[in-house]
Each structure stands twice: as C-alpha cells, then as structure tokens.
Structure 1
Amino acid sequence: MTTTPTGLPPLSDDTVDRIEEAVFAQIAEERDTERAHTALTRRRARRRGWLTAGGVAAAFAVGVLVTPAILNATGAASSGSSAASAPYDTTPRPQSLSGVAKDMAPSSGGAASSAGGSAPSTNEARDVIRTGSATVQVDDVRKAADALAALAKKHGGFVESQQIGSAQGPVATDGGIVPPPSGDGWVTLRVPVADLDAVMDALREQGTVLATSIGTNDVTTATTDLRAQIDSLTASVTRLTQLMSQATSVSDLLTAETALTDRQSQLQSAQQQLKDLESQVAMSSVQVTLVREAPAAADPAGFGDGLAAGWKGLIVSLNALVIALGFLLPWLALALVVALIVWAIVRTRRARRTRRAIAGSMQAAETEPEPEPQKP
C-alpha cells in the first residue's frame, strides 16, 4: 500500500500502475507522431530539392537548345532590317567618327547578296563566256602555229600562249640559239566572241580536225553582283572621304583612314574581278592542240627485211632470257644453300645410324657365347 499525502484519496498500486502506463503510452504516442512529422518534413524537403534540381537542369537544356536558334533568328532579322534600311546618309554629321566608319558601308558579301536578290530579267543582255577547243592533225606543227597566229590577227585577236616541241625552250649552242625540235604542241588564241564560230570553221584549213568542242558559261549573276559591290563601295569611299574632312580629333581621323583604306582595297578587287569577267565575255578563248601525222610503218617485203626482223626478235628474246636469268639467280643461290643444309643434315643422321648399327652388332657379337666343340 502506497502512502499518499494528507487530503488526497489513497491510491492503490494498480491505479498507480495504470496511471504510469497511460502516461508512458501518451509519451510514446507523442514521440511517434513527432518522428512521423520529422520524416514527412524530410521527404518533402528532399522532394523539393529534386524538383529544384530537375527544373534547373531542364532550364539549362532549354537554354542550350533554344538560345542559339533565337540568337540566329534575331541576328538574321537585325541584318535583314539593316540591309533593308538605307546604308548611307549624305547629311553631314559633326559627331565623333568612332564606330561610325566601321559600319558606314556594307561588306562585299552583303552587296553581293542584295544584288543577287534581283536577278536580271530574260530581256536584258546576258554575260556569257564562250570557249572553244580543237585537236588538229598537221604536217608541220610550227607552220600550223604561225598560221593560227595569222588567223587570230585577221579576226582582231591575238595569241595568248603557245608551246611547240620540247617544253625546255631554245637551247644555246656554239652556233647560236637553236629552237626546240618541232613536234606536238598547243596554241591558245583569244578572238572576239562574235568571230568564234568563224575561227572554229577556219581550223579545217590548217589540217585534219580530229575533235572540236564549244562551251558556254553564263556569268550574268556574278557580273551583276560585282557591279552592285562597286557601286556600294564607291559610295562608301565617297562618304568616308567626307567624314575625314569633318574629323575633329586624331583618333577619328585614323579610324576613318583605316576604314577608307579597307573600302578602297575591296573596291579595287571588285573592279579587277569585273574587268577579268568582262574580258572573258568579250574575247573568247580557243585552245588548239596540234599533233603531227604519224609516219607509215614499213612492212618487211623481202628476205633481207625478214632476216633483219628475225635478228631483232632473237636479240629481244636473248635480252628477255638474260633478264629472267638475272632475276632467278638470287633465288637459285638461296635454293642451293638450303639444299646443302638439308643434305648435310641427312648425311649426319645416316652416319649416326650407321655407327649405332655397327656398335650394336659388335656388342651382340661380344655377348654371344662361344659354341661348344662337338664330341666325336
């Protein structure tokens, strides 16, 4: 029986045990609830972390995949808008030239693309390069080359290049300079495009025409682009010259001068390209290959010719035999060495066998008992 303070009803041991069990059960329940809440909080925090990491990774992937396309589209739109706008402004500007001279004129590629956008109509005259080539068989290559030079001069053209005979050129000797021997060669003519067909027809007068061909190449787009570039660069040079006269500082002057030098270089290059194309359009190139007629081979018609042909055949056969013998000689020497080695090995083995047989027979003879004498 447990003693209780004065004024409180006495409690039995069973009651105290029940109270303790209830208190301990409540404490255990509160601990379980707290543990479950802590675990749930941790799971939620972990889930938030994974979701955050996944969102960051997805955003990064989207940025990597989408950003270049957006930048390209933005750049194309900005370049298109800048190309559509007027590239030059003739109004004098007193402000600084820093950054202005650089962007003052479009590049040659931009001019080409803008010019290429408007293709010439079919009614306009087109720039077409016509070229011809032929292979002519002649008796004398040098005379034929001189005749071709006269033909080109007759039609208002000239000889662009030629090669006759040996490619090494004239040879200096004691008797003076000797031209290379006459042989096959080629001649390149430049004639007006209107006379190309007449020149090709006139080649039949120089010898036997073995093959001919005429090619065309339409360069209208290229010449149109170059003319647009030249106009654009000319305006750019003019504008930069004005800006140099308005420069207020040394840095502005140097910037404009650098840009002007670059534009002038591009302008000269475009002008030279256009000049080359226009020259090819105006003057056709004709490549003529000259070959000599092959001499007729003499057939053996008598005993002497047959004997000479047989002697030549014998010499050729002997030469072939000597070459074959020289080719096989190292292999024959190697085969001889191998045969000697094999013969020596076989001979050594046979000698060993013979010695063993003789030794065995002698040993058998020694161990065999002598026969007893027969009694009479």
Structure 2
Amino acid sequence: MRKLAVLCVGALGLILLTGCGDDNAAPARDRTPTIVTGPGPAAPALVPPGLHEQAPPKREDNSGAEPTSTRKEVVTGSVEITADAPVTAAGTIIDQVRAAGGRVDSRTEQPGTDDTEPSATLVVRLPADKTDAFIAGLGGVGQITRVTTNRDDVTMHWEDLDARIKALQASVDRLRGLIAGATTTSDLIAAEQALSSRQGELDSLTAQKRRLDDQVALSTLTIDVTTDHKNSGDDPDNFWDGIVSGWNSLVDWLQDAMVFSGKAIPWLGFLAVVAAVLWGIVRLVRRRKPTPGAGESAPEPVSSASDGAETSAGGKSADGGKGDDQAEQP
C-alpha cells in the first residue's frame, strides 16, 4: 500500500510539473510573435534613439545644397612672375589663356634697353571654374612671387536685378496690351509714354545683368612679368669681370659727359650774348652820367673872368683917374 501511495504521489507531481512547464512556455511563444508582428506604434520603440532625429537634418542639408550651387561670385586677382625673358613668357601665358577658353583684354610689353629692364603686363579673362588651375600652371612659365585673389559675392545683387527685370517685363507686356486695346487718343498717348519709360528702364537693367553675368562667368587676372634682379647677370662675379665692368662704366661716363657738353654749348653761347648785352648797357649808362670832378671845375672860369673884369674895370678907373689928373695938370 505504501508503494502504491508513493507511486500515485510521484505521478501527480509529474503531472503538475508538466502543466506548469506548458503554462510558462505558452506565454513565451505568445510574446515572441507579439514583438515581431505587433501593431505599428509599438515598432518604433525598438529603434535606437536619435536615428529619427538625425535623418531630417540630412534631408535639409541635401535640400540646402542647391542655393550654394547658384551662388554668384566675381573673381578678381593679380599674379606677379619673374622670368629671364618676360616678353617671351608673356607670349606663352597668352597661349595658355586661349587654351583655357579665355581672352586677353590688355597687353603691354617693354623690351629691355640700357636704362630699363624688360617687362610685360597682361589683363586676361578666364572661366571662373578654371582660374585656380590656370594660376597653378603659371609655375612652368617662371617663378611666381605673389598671388592675390578676391571673390566678391554678388548673389543678392543678381537676384535683385533678375526680379526687377521680370516685373518690368510683365509691366511692359501689360502696357502693350493696353496700347493694342486703346479706344481714345489720350489713352493711347499715355500708354505709349509709360511704355517708353518702362522699356528704357528694362533695357538698362538687362544690360547691367548681362555685364554682371559676364563678370561672374569670367574672372579677371592682372599678370605682371619682370626679370629677376638677382640673376640678371649685371653684377661681376670675379676680378676680371670687375675690371671690365669698371671700364664699361668709365666709357659710359665719358659718353654721358660728352653728351652733356654738347647740350651745354648752346646755353653757354646764349649766356655769353646776354652778358655782353648787359655789359654794353652798363657802359652806356656810365658814359652819360657826369663825373663829380667835372661838375666842380666848371664854375671856376666864370669866377676868374668876373675877377678879371673887375680888375680891368678898376684899372680903367685908375687910369681914368690918372688921366683926369694929367688933364688937370696942364
């Protein structure tokens, strides 16, 4: 009997354990489908936080990249290059400009002389997107000593011109429609006057926009090509070159002195003539002016003459007195 009771209890325990295992397993199988095939709102809870927040900014960046591509810039700059033969280097630069699809607006070349060194100056227009590559390619022509570039953003100005042109174009179209449907002469004249004013303003804005488009499409570069003073070869390197350089400088000085003498001879002759004229005028003035000695001796003869006259008069009176006495004596 005890064995039977133990067997019954063991069988009952196994039954209970099996039932509990089924109850625990069944919810686990039920929960697994719930996670996978559950309703839509529960799915986002499994996504790591921040993914939904990062996605919209990427779409905004992609959409915001379009205004950057339509940015309008006017590119200007200057480049300074040193080369052994500036004129030849300028010709090479012009070939590179034409190969890049640009043009040359200004060209100034100065061959070397005894007093000046050779140089060349170019003003070129290049496609804006090829400017940087063109400047980098100038290193094969000579040594680049200075590069300056400036990018001026004219997007707002370009958009303003474009909007005003569209508005004026619409106004011109409406005025043309009014002219076509005008019934009175006064209405026709007023519409034509308004159309003339609007058309003139439209043409001016269109020309400004065309010029701005040209400045945006083509950059402007000023290129100066000169020689390298350090490697010009004018300074002597040894004793014999110093002697030759000194002799050449002496010959140059003598030539300059002869040229100066030739220029000075006409001036010396002119100064000599002027000095002779002035000396003649001074001598003439001196001759006409009386001397102090001549002025004092002039009155003396007059006084002596008057004294002689008085003496003679006294003598006559004395003689006359004597005559009277002699006349009285007889």
The reply on whether 1:132 has 2:77 as its aligned counterpart is yes
Q: Which structure 2 residues correspond to residues 45-124 of structure 1 after superposition, within 5 A?
A: 124=67
Letter in 2 for 1:194: D
Report the equivalent of 2:140.
205
Q: Structure 1 residues 139, 303: closer, same or farther in 2, change over 3 A?
A: closer
Query: How far does the alpha carbon of each residue in 1:135-184 deviate from its partner, in whole angstroms, 9 at most, with x for none?
Result: 22333445434432443355x531242425479xxxxxxxxxxxxxxx64
Alpha-carbon deviation of 1:134? 1.4
Alpha-carbon deviation of 1:239? 1.8
- What is the DSSP-based 3-state SS (H/G/I as helix, E as strand, rest coil) of the residue aligned with 1:186? strand
Taking the aligned partners of 2:242 and 2:120, their CA distance within structure 1 comes to 38
Structure 1 gap ranges (5+): 1-120, 168-182, 370-376
Letter in 2 for 1:296: G
Taking the aligned partners of 2:95 and 2:280, their CA distance within structure 1 comes to 79
Alpha-carbon deviation of 1:213? 1.5
Taking the aligned partners of 1:309 and 1:346, their CA distance within structure 2 comes to 53
Taking the aligned partners of 2:207 and 2:242, their CA distance within structure 1 comes to 69
Report the equivalent of 2:234.
297
Report the equivalent of 1:217.
152
Q: Structure 1 residues 323, 367: closer, same or farther in 2, change over 3 A?
A: farther
Report the equivalent of 1:353.
293
Report the equivalent of 2:105.
161
- Contact 1:142 1:164 (C-alpha < 8 Å) held by counterparts: no
Alpha-carbon deviation of 1:343? 3.5
Specify which structure has the higher proportion of helix: 2
Counterpart of 1:339 (choices 279, 301, 308) is 279
Query: How far does the alpha carbon of each residue in 1:159-217 deviate from its partner, in whole angstroms, 9 at most, with x for none?
Result: 242425479xxxxxxxxxxxxxxx64333333332332222222222112243221232
Identity %: 25
- What is the DSSP-based 3-state SS (H/G/I as helix, E as strand, rest coil) of the residue aligned with 2:156? helix
Alpha-carbon deviation of 1:309? 4.6
Report the equivalent of 1:271.
206
Q: Structure 1 residues 325, 241: closer, same or farther in 2, change over 3 A?
A: closer
Could you state the TM-score of these two structures normalised by the residue count of structure 1? 0.49
- Contact 1:223 1:277 (C-alpha < 8 Å) held by counterparts: yes
Alpha-carbon deviation of 1:222? 2.0
Letter in 2 for 1:271: T
- What is the DSSP-based 3-state SS (H/G/I as helix, E as strand, rest coil) of the residue aligned with 2:121? strand
- Contact 2:119 2:226 (C-alpha < 8 Å) held by counterparts: yes
Q: Structure 1 residues 206, 358: closer, same or farther in 2, change over 3 A?
A: same
The reply on whether 1:327 has 2:282 as its aligned counterpart is no
Number of paired residues? 233
Farther off after superposition, 355-364 or 312-321: 355-364
Query: How far does the alpha carbon of each residue in 1:54-81 deviate from its partner, in whole angstroms, 9 at most, with x for none?
Result: xxxxxxxxxxxxxxxxxxxxxxxxxxxx
Tell me the C-alpha RMSD between the 2 structures.
Answer: 4.1
Counterpart of 1:259 (choices 187, 194, 210) is 194
- What is the DSSP-based 3-state SS (H/G/I as helix, E as strand, rest coil) of the residue aligned with 1:139? coil
Counterpart of 2:172 (choices 200, 217, 237) is 237
Letter in 1 for 2:72: D
Q: Structure 1 residues 328, 247: closer, same or farther in 2, change over 3 A?
A: same
Letter in 2 for 1:317: A
Report the equivalent of 2:14.
none
Taking the aligned partners of 1:284 and 1:261, their CA distance within structure 2 comes to 35
Farther off after superposition, 279-288 or 228-237: 279-288
Report the equivalent of 1:91.
none
Taking the aligned partners of 1:244 and 1:344, their CA distance within structure 2 comes to 95
Q: Structure 1 residues 186, 308: closer, same or farther in 2, change over 3 A?
A: closer
- What is the DSSP-based 3-state SS (H/G/I as helix, E as strand, rest coil) of the residue aligned with 1:247? coil
Query: How far does the alpha carbon of each residue in 1:340-370 deviate from its partner, in whole angstroms, 9 at most, with x for none?
Result: 343444455566734853873796599588x
